[in-house]
Structure 1
Amino acid sequence: MLQVHEAFIAHALAYFQRDERIVGLACAGSFITKTMDEFSDIDFVVAVEPDRYEQVMAERFGMVEHLGTLLSAFTGDHVGEPRVLICLYDNPLLHVDVKFVSLDDIAHRVENFSILWERSGRISAKLKEEPAKFPLPDLQWIEERFWVWIHYGATKIGRGEIFETIEFISFLRQSVIGPLILQKEGKQPKGVRKIEYDAPKYLDRLKATVASYDKGSCYSAIKMLIELYKELREVHKFESSRYNTQAEKAAVAYLDDVAKKYR
């Protein structure tokens, strides 16, 4: 961990310790794995007394101003986590996420964060109530949608909506292929986060899913996504897995027919 991060964490720790409404402070993300570098952000988890939680939430924008030279702060609604304030600080320029969690809810977590400080072991006691559980891809949910998505991508190529097609390809890589690869490699399936380092043997084929502004390039990228998906679903399948082979054949045939029209 760099001195910049250490200094910021130390200052935040001193600030939250002075507030009797705060039960403890923890760090998540790369702090846990000791892989923080100069490009890392800081992910704080602030445990709050349950009966003071609403009060703290009402004051949280003011609270994060005390942590440093705050340039900007907004809630994490866009990532489905309104409890988080996403902050940018200056001197030095640093991205910091601060999640305020009621002590009653802190056991519901996706990873075992590192506790920096707590009052009377109360966070540790709560965490024993249930294990951390990172949400894994639902293969059946994906299979029921994948071939409809492929047909959608084909129609965008056919109409010449290349920007939309490129965004669609990115969606499949981020939401389906990346998580399935990372899960296979025993990593948390966080989209394509650090996939270059965690799954290097897939790098060449993943590069082939990055399309340029060209119909042929988009077609080739989608075909590689299909190849990867079919391989990965075999890895992750379970006894009750059901494949929609009719939809698969129809969608792939349609994609190929669209491609023939501009070749």
Structure 2
Amino acid sequence: MQPHLQPFRTFITKAIESIQQDPDAVGLAAGGSWASGDVDAYSDLDLVLVTNQKIAPELENMQVYAAKLGSLLASFQGDHVGEPRLLIALYESSLLHVDIKFLTPGEFHDRVEDPIVLWEREEILTNIIQQSTAQYPPFDFQYTEDRFWIWAHYAALKIGRGEYFEAIDFLAFVRNAVIGPMLHLKNSSLPRGVRRAETTFGVTELARLRKTVAMPDRDVLVSSLWEVMYLYESLRDALAPETFQKNTAAQLAVTRYVAAL
């Protein structure tokens, strides 16, 4: 066994022992890097706990159940990512970060990936996986185009006003919501922000992506904004479907505005 896997396996073994004592439990599965085989010493553990009785989104119920799986140091609900059924937890053993999604069998049908089943009763999870299809949310090019030039103008306003730290944060948002996902699509991977960008994107792509990272300096921020706009335009034109409609008027107006900064 690879040494870095031991803390994960130890936690999973103890978690299964606890869950098996619950007659209402249906199964436990692991997604993320565990399912893809990319686990390293710095990975978190993405678990899906399926029970007949609904546990989420009641935070207290989720925390009580999570505390049965190990020595729980801290936890909070995943509202910030739009998933109130998710509990983000930190366990004392090996200081392990574990994300636990609490689902019912019916909810398990709708998923973004096919997890590895760690334990189940009567092959319920396996049957659901075989009878349904995982669907990762697709990147919406039109949704992005309808917003991108407004976002770029907003970043320019922040730079112009001298709110450099706000501009830095906003460019980071655009990088994670737009540029990163499009680069992932270009590299035939799922549009997951800038996740594993360092090992997924090409050398030239990474060099351009670095140029979008700014310091609190007017000239550097303007340069980073230009790079964001250039990258978006080139990726959009290469990847967008035929039904896509550019907002050429907005693009031209914002480009002129940034040029006058």
| TM-score (normalised: structure 2) | 0.94
Q: Distance in 2 between the 1:55 and 1:27 partners?
A: 18
- Report the Cα offset of residue 31 of structure 1: 0.2
1:225 lines up with 2:225 in the alignment: no
Q: Distance in 1 between the 2:93 and 2:128 partners?
A: 36
1:5 lines up with 2:8 in the alignment: yes
CA RMSD of aligned residues (A): 1.4
- The percentage of aligned residue pairs carrying the same residue is 39
- Report the Cα offset of residue 210 of structure 1: 0.5
- Report the Cα offset of residue 60 of structure 1: 2.5
Alignment-derived partner of residue 39 in structure 2: 36
- Report the Cα offset of residue 69 of structure 1: 1.5
Query: Can you give the 5+ residue segments of structure 1 that lack an aligned partner in the other structure?
Result: 259-263
- Higher mean alpha-carbon deviation, 93-102 vs 122-131, is at 122-131
Q: Distance in 2 between the 1:126 and 1:190 partners?
A: 25
Aligned residue for 2:131, secondary structure, equals: coil
Query: Can you give the 5+ residue segments of structure 2 that lack an aligned partner in the other structure?
Result: none
Paired amino acid for 2:249: Q
- Higher mean alpha-carbon deviation, 4-13 vs 60-69, is at 60-69
Q: Determine if contact 1:137/1:179 at 8 Å carries over to the other structure.
A: yes
Alignment-derived partner of residue 111 in structure 2: 109
- Report the Cα offset of residue 161 of structure 1: 0.6
- Report the Cα offset of residue 55 of structure 1: 8.6
Q: Distance in 2 between the 1:84 and 1:102 partners?
A: 13
Counting only pairs closer than 5 Å after superposition, residues 50-199 of structure 1 correspond to structure 2 as 52-54=53-55, 59-199=61-201
Paired amino acid for 1:63: Y
Which of these residues, 29, 48, 70, is aligned with residue 45 of structure 1?
48
Deviations 1:122-149 (A, max 9, x none): 1122223321111121001111111111
1:15 lines up with 2:12 in the alignment: no
Q: Distance in 2 between the 1:55 and 1:192 partners?
A: 29
- Higher mean alpha-carbon deviation, 230-239 vs 162-171, is at 230-239
Q: Determine if contact 2:56/2:84 at 8 Å carries over to the other structure.
A: no
Q: Determine if contact 1:165/1:218 at 8 Å carries over to the other structure.
A: yes
Paired amino acid for 1:242: Q
Q: Distance in 2 between the 1:91 and 1:182 partners?
A: 34
Paired amino acid for 2:67: E
1:247 lines up with 2:235 in the alignment: no
| TM-score (normalised: structure 1) | 0.94
- Report the Cα offset of residue 92 of structure 1: 1.8
Paired amino acid for 1:225: V
Q: Determine if contact 1:88/1:94 at 8 Å carries over to the other structure.
A: yes
